Amino acid sequence: MEYKAIGFDWGGVVNGKPGRFFNNDISELIGVSEGQFTEAYFHHNIDFNRSIITAEELWKRILAELNLSNKLDEVMLFIRSLKKMSLNLDIIELIDNLRSKGYKVGLLSNNTLEGGQKIRNMGLDQHFDVFHISAETGDVKPEPQSFIHLSDDLGIDPKELIFIDDSQKSLSTSAEVGFTPILYEDLEQCIGELKNLGIRL
């Protein structure tokens, strides 16, 4: 297979730590297992990623499902402490390198309208050939249409796409859509997997 494009997730890949660290921290904070937390989180986050509900409403719903509504203030304080941008400059360098080698590069992020605008305000959208934010497109990972839409805008077949994400759930429709997934753990692992797939770096 000759790959023509590489897609990237925003949170946990281009910006911040992989989601498994967040899942662990929030689960410990509220006193539930990671499995319990992630089930409740993914049950409610689609409306947030389409900017239908606010972050506070998202966490109200999650905590209500877990019978932990009394933890809302504590959780919101923790969430606010994570709001600062923490760019992974090595990933930005990797993206620029891939483009210089002739690959198309796209961002596909489950994010709010405000989040998308913050990324643009920093000029980071200029590193990508295609820039998709779920609240703007209405397509939320892992919905197949989100990857099909990304591939269409990149001008490729989904089978020619590699997508890098820190969430296994976001990659769960890869076989159905046809793209090749890389579950992001760290830069070294990611580069190693890209090279194993024949990507020129």
pLDDT digits (tens, 9 = 90+) for 46-96: 899 888 999 899 999 999 999 999 999 999 998 888 766 688 999 999 999
Domains of the chain: which residue ranges? 5-16+86-196, 19-80
Does the predicted model carry a pTM greater than 0.85?
yes
Cα angle 90, 21, 55; round to 5 = 100
Q: What is the pLDDT of residue 82?
A: 75
* Residue 168: φ, ψ to 5°: -60, -35
Collect all residues with Cβ–Cβ distance below 8 Å to 123 and sequence separation of at least 6.
Answer: none
Q: What is the pLDDT of residue 176?
A: 97
Given a cut of 50, the residues of the chain with pLDDT beneath it are none
Q: What is the pLDDT of residue 85?
A: 64
Q: What is the pLDDT of residue 81?
A: 81
Q: What is the pLDDT of residue 50?
A: 87
Collect all residues with Cβ–Cβ distance below 8 Å to 106 and sequence separation of at least 6.
Answer: 5, 6, 7, 8, 128, 129, 130, 131, 132, 150, 153, 154
Q: What is the pLDDT of residue 15?
A: 93
Q: What is the pLDDT of residue 84?
A: 67
> What are the angstrom distances between the C-alpha of 119 and each of 10, 22, 56, 128, 134?
9, 20, 21, 12, 13
CATH code for the part of the protein at 5-16+86-196? 3.40.50.1000
Q: What is the pLDDT of residue 98?
A: 98
Q: What is the pLDDT of residue 20?
A: 85
How far apart (Å, rounded) are the C-alpha atoms in residues 146 and 168? 15
